[in-house]
Amino acid sequence: MDPDRARELLAAERERIENAIADLRREAPDESDARVEPGDEDDEGLYQGEFDAGRAQDYQDQLAALERAEARLEQGTYGLSVVSGKPIPDGRLEAYPLAERTVEEEHGGRDG
């Protein structure tokens, strides 16, 4: 993949992730001192808090993957599998710029 195109893809991915993190922070309810237990009348907020915490961790994981991809781009190894060194098809990188492995490696050699 052309390095300039890779930079565009990674920049767009960074913007998407950072915007998602900012949106999640804006949506977060104010912390309360009242402890809500599952089954309480207000336990929907407890569920939402746990769900949002999971989403926040997902975004942090994506941000870490993005930083690894940016480092590979600087090292000249972006677009090569971190497992085998085989080229990752451009179509896969266009669809998922953070890809670190080929589809075959990602799915353990299974078909489909």
Within 10 angstroms of residue 79's Cβ, the number of other Cβ atoms is 20
CA 93 to chain centre: 14
- The more confidently predicted of residues 40 and 86 is 86
What pLDDT is recorded for position 112? 42
Residue 40 pLDDT > 60: no
- Annotate 8-37 with b (16+ C-beta within 10 A) or e (fewer): ebbeebbeebeebbeeeeeeeeeeeeeeee
pTM for the full model? 0.74
Is the predicted pLDDT of residue 31 greater than 80, yes or no?
A: no
Residue 37 has pLDDT above 80, yes or no: no
Which is nearest to 100 in space by CA: 49, 52, 57, 62?
62
Provide the pLDDT for residue 26. Answer: 85
pLDDT in tens, 52-109: 677 889 999 999 999 999 999 999 999 999 999 999 999 999 999 999 999 999 987 5
> What value does the mean pLDDT take over residues 7-22?
96
At residue 9, the pLDDT reads 98
